[in-house]
A and B are shown apart, each in its own frame.
Chain A
Amino acid sequence: MVIQQLINGISLGSIYALIALGYTMVYGIVKLINFAHGDILMVGAYVGFFVLSAFGTSPFGFFVAIIISMVVCALFAIVIERFAYRPLRNAPRLNSLITAIAMSLIIQNAARVIPFIGPNPRQFPTLAKSTVYIGSFSLSNIQLIVIALSAILMLILAYIIKFTKIGKALRAVSFDNKAASLMGISVNKTISFTFALGAALAAVGGVLYATAYPQITPTMGAAPGLKAFIAAVLGGIGSIPGAMIGGYILGLAETLAKGFISSQFANAISFAILIIILLVKPTGLMGKNEREKV
């Protein structure tokens, strides 16, 4: 029973991890909590919806859906960053935060009014489900795809961050953007890339989430977005391994809470975890202490 919940938890956690990565990378590089990130998940899910409706739910269709949603969301994020966040890069943090909140509301409400999306829930095309039974617990093919695909993407991300030039640039700008620009790194391009990368992962997260929970609405991004954000903070906001670990932990915690305590309190438990972490170690499990220079 517990193992079943563990599998479910890891599956959910994988999705949270994918989204948490976007939050943490953006926070690391521009110190902004991108409230609109959860809504990117929603955009990804809808793009997936339209692609799958057109191409069918074959593995090929699924593959195309993921690629296209990644591209669309990446571009979308680049546009948002360019027009709403970049002008406020040197403004007080509060202003950027409020802009991010406003952006989130705009995306949600625009989706509601756009005719071909609309406020009513849609049914996401499902893959033919098959289940593998191992001993006393089951693993569905959907769960397998979610866990495997997320892990692969996270490995690719880790490779990009650690071994490519742009990855180094990302780390440099996160650390000290003025020094990075003096070294010849284009800060703007790096930041755009970071947003795009985070959005691409969130897009996949959205498609996977919709595959696992097939009802999609314009506000579907709010709840998982918030949970993924908690995961990022839990792992240490700004820390990429932290976001991954945080995602899995939160997925497990939520699933175990739903299974053994009550599904109503599951949300509150996620927040309680957040608050406890922030009170005990605000920089999260893997975060570093930042001292203000006096």
Chain B
Amino acid sequence: MQNTKMFNKKMIFPLLVSLFLLIIPTILIKFTIIDEYFAQIITLAAINAIMAISVNIICGFTGQLSLGQASFMAIGAYMSILLTENLGLPMGLSIIFAGFSAALVGFLIGFPTLKLRGDYLAIVTLGFGEIIKVILMNFKSITGGANGKRFVAPAAVNFTLNPEVSFFVIVFFLIVIIVLFQNFIRSSFGRAILAVREDEIAANSNGIGVFKYKMTGFIIASFVAGIGGALYAPFIGFIKPEMASFNRSIEYLIFVVLGGMGSITGSVVAAFTLTSLQEFLRFLQDYRLLVYPLILIFVMLYKPDGLLGTREFSFVKTEKRLFAFFKKVRVKNEK
């Protein structure tokens, strides 16, 4: 059902819920009702959710297996530092421009690679990811090399030291990204990308420029990853070229596979669940590293669609279900 007004009743409930999830925890963190440790976990989970969404956009929604998304995150991270410290831009602007830088690199890489078929595409994106890591390690003057780089600008330090600020900003970006992407996917452009995922030849024969839309998905995914990185840098305060590695890309891929390729809700839920799990399982020490891949194989063998498949949480559907449920209860009580 299409909305016919810009702001209508249907939007009030989601809006309220989003504000609730954003503002209440921020206040709780500020007054240390939620302690700093917990705050860090949920904020990190939010960043992981952004990254999972990035991977989901290119792998789940556009159907192109890219194994190098972490490298776009790294580009976003390094760029946000450079733009804030060397160019003196305000943080907000740096973050956005860092996203655009990542998108630009995505555009350049996409040109040669998106012409390739499935497996080859995966390998090349992996390759580009590693090349970016090597570049970041070797241009010491700009990136600080293998030793990493600190984000020392005052605005960033404010971010790092005040958990309520980082939580608020990061979750705010997460919500905006979710909303904008949902708007995108429920439009002609979004449907075109899904068509490319479903069947390239049929999409092509029905007027969809396949390469154009693969590129669109790739650029959007890179942009989101860049934003994720640009938010990560001031949050943690210190970044290393390792963040561009294949291992990190795989970590985010795991969130998406678990949550369901093609479900934003799934990615967010998986990111929060697994990030918390990772902390919770710290007592397992090295055995912890076995948990992720074992879960992954288990999911692949028995529930390959992931937790949610391609289903999304829908406020509208949830409301309907709740009303139907209450109606049933009422009818039952009247008997």
Contact = CB atoms under 8 A, between A and B. Distances in A.
A and B touch in the complex (CB under 8 A): yes
Given A271-B130, A292-B201, 7 more contacts: A33-B123, A102-B293, A102-B297, A112-B289, A113-B287, A119-B286, A233-B120
B207 interface: no
A109 B293 contact: yes
Contacts of A184: none
A188 interface: no
Most buried by A among B65, B122, B138, B293: B293
Contact of B296 (A102, A267, A275): A102
A279 B112 contact: yes
A98 B290 contact: no
Contacts of A93: 118-119
Contact of A97 (B119, B127, B134): B119
Interface of B: 59, 65, 112-113, 116-120, 122-124, 127-128, 130-131, 134-135, 137-138, 201, 250, 253, 257, 261, 286-287, 289-290, 292-294, 296-297, 300-301, 304
Contact of A105 (B127, B287, B289): B289
Contacts of A257: none
Given A98-B300, A103-B293, A113-B290, A274 B122 contact: no
B310 to A, nearest CB: 13
Contact of A106 (B116, B119, B294, B300): B294
* CB-CB nearest 8 A-B residue pairs: A105-B293, A102-B293, A268-B134, A102-B296, A109-B289, A271-B127, A106-B293, A99-B300
Interface stretch (A83-91, A140-148, A195-203, A207-215): A83-91
Contacts of B289: 105, 109, 112-113
A94 interface: yes
Contact of B123 (A92, A272, A274): A274
Interface residues of A, number: 40
Nearest to A107: B293
Contacts of B59: 94
Contacts of A94: 59, 65, 118, 261
Contacts of A6: none
Contacts of A98: 253, 257, 296, 300
Interface in A240-294: 264-265, 267-268, 271-272, 274-275, 278-279, 282, 292, 294
A91 B261 CA distance: 15
A57 to B, nearest CB: 31
Contact of A110 (B127, B290, B296): B290
A151 interface: no
A294 B201 contact: yes
A149 interface: no
A232 B287 CA distance: 33
Contacts of A103: 293, 297
Contacts of B124: 274-275, 278
A232 to B, nearest CB: 10
A95 interface: yes
A75 interface: no
Contacts of B304: 91-92, 95
B130 A267 contact: yes
18 contacts: A84-B301, A91-B300, A94-B118, A94-B261, A97-B65, A97-B122, A98-B257, A99-B296, A102-B294, A109-B286, A112-B289, A113-B286, A264-B137, A271-B130, A272-B131, A274-B123, A278-B123, A292-B201
